[in-house]
Structure 1
Amino acid sequence: MTSESGRAESSTRQPQAAPLRDQAYVALRDKLVMLEIPPGAPIHEEEITSSLGLGRTPVRQALRRLEVERLVAIHPRRGTFAADVHITDLSQIAEIRLHLESQAAGWAAQRATQEERDTLRSLLVEMQQAESDDPAKLMELDSGMHRTIYQCAHNAYLEGSLTELHNLMARIWYLFAPRLPQAARLMEDHAPLVEAIIAGDRDKAQHLAARHVSDFESAVKAVL
């Protein structure tokens, strides 16, 4: 009876909540990436802890992590600020992403489980049904698609590196999205890429991923 009871309790146990530092990190990361906290703006711990309902320790841990990821700048005796967005960083970020995104897409085509391929299909349908005149929603879906592809590559180090690079790129997107006439078309590029991954076509997935990165860089440079 004890064994049966234990199994019953285990099957009904609710998933554990993410650690507080991770909750603080995700909330702050999204605000920084989506420019809800503008580049260069001061970040006050008191306001953050109050708005998130968290203590100082997890918020400080999150800020230190975000500093490592170049999303915040911490200056002793001056304070903490949202990192500036430097358009000169675009080429360097794209140069790295060009190779890593291609590798991730190729591995995803080879390694993704059927469940992961189904998830990619669902995300693609959601993206295709989204309103093309809502840049924020498009970028939210784009980020979800990229992060899922990174997970499908089944390499934690590659996933971590690409996630950080994508966050930096996304800030540039939010800064220039209103001036990008082909923003919706860039999102449409995901369809053949996702189809290639689902079909297990490594070479095609790698080619399309690299082209997607290159097209984004060209689109931003065209409006500078």
Structure 2
Amino acid sequence: MIGDGKAAQAYRAIEQMIVFQQLGPGSLVSESLLMERTGLGRTPVREALQQLARNRMVEIHPSKGVLIPPASVESQLRMLELRRVLEALAVRLAVERSTPDVRESMQQLIARLQSETFDLTTYADTIKETHELLVAGARNEYLADAIAPLQGLSRRFWFGRVEDDAAEIAAGSKLHVAILQAVLDGDADAAEKASLALNDYLVEFAYRTLRP
């Protein structure tokens, strides 16, 4: 994954444009447009695009442009099958390995999720931070590399299809709080159960988008 620096800034900016469909599914965009939209140069934008392509968020077509691929319910459900297993492992490892500073950040996130009023943008940032913190607690860089693209694709699907913002944010916040609290309590079984409950919610949400 891209660490700090301008490439990371470009990655975050372009990913957010994709998640919130400022770059619509099926659209073809140029590097120059992304440079203009991010305010960053060709090299960091190109590095970000290469990582986004590896994470299946974009498809790079030389001499044509960058394609934002559509996200189908079928692909979301297949992705969630893998995310389910990896996140269950991540939270169990986080129970065992989280450092004091990570645990303190988890406690702060719980307070935010329970007290703040979110719009979709601030909720997206907070949930991404929650995911990254849980993986950081697991202290396994290979797991981090495997799980980050799955979570990015999942966020893209969810934010692209959410209709009742307040209700879905409330449901998601409660589920993420349960995971974080179980990790802080040192209860690996409860953490895994809470992680699976979040995945069940995401699966049900995906099926719900098919209903008229």
TM-score strictly above 0.5: yes
Please tell me whether the aligned partners of residues 151 and 159 of structure 1 are also in contact (alpha carbons under 8 angstroms): yes
* Residue of structure 2 in register with 1:123 after alignment: 109
Match of 1:65 among 39, 47, 51: 51
Q: Does 1:167 align with 2:152?
A: yes
* Residue of structure 2 in register with 1:86 after alignment: 72
Structure 2 counterparts to residues 29-68 of structure 1, below 5 A: 29-68=15-54
- The worse-fitting range, judged by mean Cα deviation, of 135-144 and 168-177 is 135-144
Match of 1:143 among 110, 119, 128: 128
Please tell me whether the aligned partners of residues 186 and 216 of structure 1 are also in contact (alpha carbons under 8 angstroms): no
- Secondary structure in 2 aligned to 1:70? coil
Letter in 2 for 1:38: G
- The worse-fitting range, judged by mean Cα deviation, of 151-160 and 58-67 is 58-67
Match of 1:95 among 81, 85, 91: 81
* Residue of structure 1 in register with 2:179 after alignment: 193
Write the deviation string for residues 175-196 of structure 1: whole angstroms up to 9, x where unpaired: 1111578412232112222111
Letter in 1 for 2:162: A
RMSD over aligned Cα, in angstroms? Answer: 2.0
Once residues 75 and 165 of structure 1 are traced to their aligned partners in structure 2, the CA distance between those partners, rounded to angstroms, is 22
Gaps of 5+ in 1: 1-16
TM-score calculated relative to the size of structure 1: 0.84
Please tell me whether the aligned partners of residues 130 and 138 of structure 1 are also in contact (alpha carbons under 8 angstroms): no
- Secondary structure in 2 aligned to 1:197? helix
Please tell me whether the aligned partners of residues 69 and 164 of structure 1 are also in contact (alpha carbons under 8 angstroms): yes
Higher alpha-carbon Rg: 1
Please tell me whether the aligned partners of residues 58 and 68 of structure 2 are also in contact (alpha carbons under 8 angstroms): yes
* Residue of structure 2 in register with 1:10 after alignment: none
- The worse-fitting range, judged by mean Cα deviation, of 145-154 and 176-185 is 176-185
Please tell me whether the aligned partners of residues 25 and 68 of structure 2 are also in contact (alpha carbons under 8 angstroms): yes
Please tell me whether the aligned partners of residues 11 and 48 of structure 2 are also in contact (alpha carbons under 8 angstroms): yes
Matched-pair identity in %: 26
Gaps of 5+ in 2: none
Distance 1:222 1:18, change over 3 A: closer
Q: Does 1:216 align with 2:210?
A: no
Please tell me whether the aligned partners of residues 73 and 82 of structure 1 are also in contact (alpha carbons under 8 angstroms): yes
Q: Does 1:204 align with 2:190?
A: yes
Once residues 44 and 208 of structure 2 are traced to their aligned partners in structure 1, the CA distance between those partners, rounded to angstroms, is 41
Once residues 197 and 95 of structure 2 are traced to their aligned partners in structure 1, the CA distance between those partners, rounded to angstroms, is 16
Letter in 2 for 1:141: T
Match of 2:143 among 149, 155, 158: 158
Letter in 2 for 1:119: S
